[in-house]
Structure 1
Amino acid sequence: MATDALTPARSRLMRPAFALLWLSETALDIGAALMSFALGVWIFQRTGSAEQFSQAILAAAAPALLMTPLAGVLADRFDRRWVIAGCDLAAAALIVLLATLLFRDSLAVEHLYFFNAAGAIVASVRGPAYRAAVSLIVPKDRLTQASGLIGLTQSLLQIGAPLLAGYVMGAAGLKGVMLIQLILVFAGALAAFGALTRASHAIRGVPVPARLGLVHGTLDSFGSAIRYFRAMPLMLGLAIYTVLQESLLVLTTAMMTPLVLSTHSSDALGLILTCGALGSLAGSALLLLVRVDRRLMVWVLLADALLSLFVLLAGFTTSVPLWCLCAFFALFAGSASGACAGALWMRKTPKARQGSIFALLGALNLLAMCVVMLAGGNLGEHVFEPALAAGGAWADTVGAWVGTGKGRGLGFMFVAGGAGSCLMSLLALLHTRLRRLDELVPDHADDSAPLPLTVQPLAC
């Protein structure tokens, strides 16, 4: 693929193809934010169990893991327009099915396990195709700005999502939220299809060999991602760091809903999440205004350390204003870190293999999430909460720092997760080669960039 010839035509960030992809992702994300908030409140209000809340999230991970090899080959070897459109239609069908159960008063928590599992399969297939398309449409020196712009718009829309979800839940219930989500899914699907139709060079990563069937193509796609990480150990180090960091933070952010609802109303939760969205908006705006295209790895590590610090602080309080403050600054740092990390992955990975590499990264993240959510849900409800109840085993020791009573076990989980995540970021900053990843790993501007024949050790 001759990407160099395409560069002049794509010199500006806001080309029609990117604008449509931007609108597509925005529509889908705002719908997902509404649905996630509404379903989280619905589950916790009916069960009152942090463990069941975490199990509903876990139900999504295992099926998505099984789809990882197929997601990579679909993103790299098939028409990404139809991959993304097919995923969006499947998502719409799931919402219709869920709405049918709700209108018949048959919806149960167990149905949401199935919904989460099927939705995760759809997302695991769509994600690599979407990210690979963006990396081809946006010039590499504008990838951080593109990520910031997407985050800016999504954050701006998500500021009102929790409050809107709370209002719609009160006025029309979960049915109203589902109707909005259905409209947004169809709008996003049309925008994504239009974007890739305009940018024909982003439709497919590599030609499909006629002799290579789907099964062999899947194995070859997955194997190519493994070979890339073997040849690029620094990128493997980045992958391991990202997986460990995100798994700790996914646990704490997932537990925010039961943590707040254990002592406060859903209105308080909506306010906290809105403040978090404002922080994400500010972080994205910073990257849009301040062009960052050097030392991206250092930016990632510093932002992650700041994010982790505010997660830790959130575990020490039960005050809604302090939670709002922590949510703002945590997501401010998180949006900056995510944009820089995303730009790194899109700049450093070969274009023809990006679907496979992104799919493998998604699988590793899901696997780590399974472990931490399973452990966290059980520890939070059966160990930490009883130990930090009034008169519990830790009431006079740990309880002197984080407090005792309902929700304090989940608060301790925030403290432990934030501390572990912050320590990991600081250790990564001390690792000289990982900190200098931008300089040591070459950009892969096209498919012709060869992998090194020798493997460099991942050493300080």
Structure 2
Amino acid sequence: MQEVTVEAAATSTRDDPVMPPLQHTPSRARSTFALLWLSETAFDLGTTLVSFAVGVWIFSRTGSAQDYSFSVLAAALAGMLATPFAGALADRHDRRWVVLSCDAAAIAGTFAIVLALPSGRLGIGALYAYAAVAAAVGALRRPSIRVAVSRFVPKDRFAQVGGLTGISRALVQVGAPAAAGFLMARMGLRGVMATQLCLLLAGAALVFAALTRAGADVRGGPRVGESSTRSTSLLSGAGASFSGALAYLREQPLMGALLGYGALVQCLLVLATTLLTPMVLSTHSSDVLGLVMSVGIVGGLLGSVLVATAWIRRGLMQWILACDALQCAAVLFAGCVTTPALWCAAAFVCLFCGSTSVACSHALWMRKAPMGRQGSVFALIAASNMLVMCVVLLAGGWLADAVLEPALRPGGALGATVGVWFGTGPGRGIGFLFFVSGAVGLALTVLALAHRRLRRLETLVPDGGES
């Protein structure tokens, strides 16, 4: 980290007679961020371990893919419903205690599952509830961490922060399934839950230490003379948080356009990539699927490394749009081919560009969101992303199974038209869905690139804290 007086903190405190501007030396900033990064990595690793293990446990007990999808849907809905409260907590309360309370709730829920498992009476409903609670806790916790980081990291390093976050996420995606399978084979679900408990305890200790040493401005919460205005109920605070985020998007319509554009592109890409597994398994073995997914994860990791090491400081919007265009083109290409080598190439490009775009978008929102509303804005972004996930989970599988796959069977409704180009048989309906999703996403990105004001968003929208 560079030696600076953080602009964000200085802006929010320079007129405050009670609290002087917060100073961060390079070593202090680095160590504080390292603690937060390690905490988030431990939290994400535990969450991914449990998500994988719970899916295996449910499917092994019921043999129903629908039962598994319901656990994912329960988590997505719970996270989406929690996000308005997350914004209020991040903007109005001490983030140290917000995060610690979330960690305590996660620890208590995990401990309860660990105790209940030996009895053999644990039902699927309990795991649905656990998945929902865990997702809600994560949704409440994340904006507070993100706002805290934006208060002491220099603005020109926000992209690096996104890159480092992407690196840890990619490493978790690589290691967690193998670790969960190892633990499930030897100790069962209880072993995975016990590991999650240890990771949560370690993460809670790390984040509490980081936020304690970071300073009062980073931690947030009411200052002297503000207690009367901050004593509103959590429900009214959530409403005010949501209204504040919407007000910011009305004040800065380009940021609203960026939010809408990001949600649409993500919807199209998630719709396609969620169905990668059934498309590959329709004609190839699970080994091929594992290879394609591994190559894709490596691409995502390298994209995050690029952002973390290249010090991308300007032209973030151009990076986002260019990477999205390549990502959509890779999805389109994946729908047209049927060989593992070409799927691997498409997966690599898609996730390489996707991780780069996400890191740059992360940095752009951290830079532009106003200091007093950052938690609310970040929560609104998370809610829109989870809404997309819910729509995809509800509609994507039905569209593939009930409409496109039957239509592209030999003799199907589209066999004599679309089937001439895409072929007919298992997996071709999903391939056509990939093609359509990629084509629509590519067209949307090209339109965004042609929009002069959106392309220049980084210079037209003032940074958070600026007038």
Q: Same fold (TM over 0.5)?
A: yes
Contact preservation (8 Å) 2:29, 2:152: no
Instruction: Give the whole-Å Cα distance in 2 for the aligned partners of 1:172 and 1:259.
Output: 32
Runs (5+) with no aligned partner, structure 2:
1-8, 15-19
Q: Using the TM superposition, give the Cα deviation of residue 406 of structure 1 relative to its aligned residue in structure 2, in angstroms.
A: 3.6
Deviation per CA, 1:287-323: give whole Å up to 9, x if none.
Answer: 1221211110010111111122222233344544433
**Secondary structure at the residue paired with 1:131?**
helix
Query: Which residue is equivalent to 1:413?
Result: 433
Letter aligned with residue 68 of structure 1: T
Aligned mate of 1:305, from 281, 304, 325: 325
- 2:276 equivalent to 1:256: yes
Query: Which residue is equivalent to 2:5?
Result: none
Query: Which residue is equivalent to 1:280?
Result: 300
Letter aligned with residue 126 of structure 1: R
Instruction: Give the whole-Å Cα distance in 2 for the aligned partners of 1:18 and 1:51.
Output: 40
Identity %, equivalent residues? 50
Runs (5+) with no aligned partner, structure 1:
451-460
**Count of paired positions:** 447
Instruction: Give the whole-Å Cα distance in 2 for the aligned partners of 1:308 and 1:134.
Output: 31
**Secondary structure at the residue paired with 1:249?**
helix
Q: Which moved more, 1:317-326 or 1:127-136?
A: 317-326
Contact preservation (8 Å) 1:41, 1:266: no
Query: Which residue is equivalent to 1:327?
Result: 347
Contact preservation (8 Å) 2:88, 2:376: yes
Q: Using the TM superposition, give the Cα deviation of residue 227 of structure 1 relative to its aligned residue in structure 2, in angstroms.
A: 1.4
Q: Using the TM superposition, give the Cα deviation of residue 169 of structure 1 relative to its aligned residue in structure 2, in angstroms.
A: 4.0
Instruction: Give the whole-Å Cα distance in 1 for the aligned partners of 2:178 and 2:108.
Output: 26
Q: How large is the RMSD of aligned CA atoms in angstroms?
A: 2.9
Q: Using the TM superposition, give the Cα deviation of residue 171 of structure 1 relative to its aligned residue in structure 2, in angstroms.
A: 4.3
TM-score (norm 2): 0.85
Q: Using the TM superposition, give the Cα deviation of residue 194 of structure 1 relative to its aligned residue in structure 2, in angstroms.
A: 1.3
Query: Which residue is equivalent to 2:75?
Result: 60
Letter aligned with residue 202 of structure 1: V
Contact preservation (8 Å) 2:292, 2:347: yes
Distance 1:210 1:438, change over 3 A: same
- 2:227 equivalent to 1:209: yes
Contact preservation (8 Å) 1:13, 1:139: no
Q: State how 1:194-233 maps to structure 2 within 5 Å.
A: 194-200=209-215, 201-204=217-220, 207=223, 208-211=226-229, 212-214=231-233, 215-233=235-253
Letter aligned with residue 380 of structure 2: L
Q: Using the TM superposition, give the Cα deviation of residue 438 of structure 1 relative to its aligned residue in structure 2, in angstroms.
A: 0.5
**Secondary structure at the residue paired with 1:2?**
helix
Q: Using the TM superposition, give the Cα deviation of residue 442 of structure 1 relative to its aligned residue in structure 2, in angstroms.
A: 1.0
Q: Using the TM superposition, give the Cα deviation of residue 401 of structure 1 relative to its aligned residue in structure 2, in angstroms.
A: 3.6
Letter aligned with residue 445 of structure 2: S
Distance 1:53 1:8, change over 3 A: same
Instruction: Give the whole-Å Cα distance in 1 for the aligned partners of 2:121 and 2:292.
Output: 31
Contact preservation (8 Å) 1:284, 1:336: yes
- 2:88 equivalent to 1:73: yes
Distance 1:313 1:178, change over 3 A: farther
Letter aligned with residue 218 of structure 2: A
Q: State how 1:33-432 maps to structure 2 within 5 Å.
A: 33-41=48-56, 53-99=68-114, 103-106=118-121, 110-200=125-215, 201-204=217-220, 207=223, 208-211=226-229, 212-214=231-233, 215-264=235-284, 266-432=286-452
Q: Using the TM superposition, give the Cα deviation of residue 13 of structure 1 relative to its aligned residue in structure 2, in angstroms.
A: 9.0
Contact preservation (8 Å) 1:50, 1:381: no
Instruction: Give the whole-Å Cα distance in 1 for the aligned partners of 2:333 and 2:69.
Output: 22
Q: Using the TM superposition, give the Cα deviation of residue 437 of structure 1 relative to its aligned residue in structure 2, in angstroms.
A: 0.4
Letter aligned with residue 408 of structure 2: L
Q: Using the TM superposition, give the Cα deviation of residue 376 of structure 1 relative to its aligned residue in structure 2, in angstroms.
A: 1.3
Letter aligned with residue 227 of structure 1: A
Instruction: Give the whole-Å Cα distance in 2 for the aligned partners of 1:40 and 1:86.
Output: 27
Query: Which residue is equivalent to 1:455?
Result: none
Q: Which moved more, 1:98-107 or 1:315-324?
A: 98-107
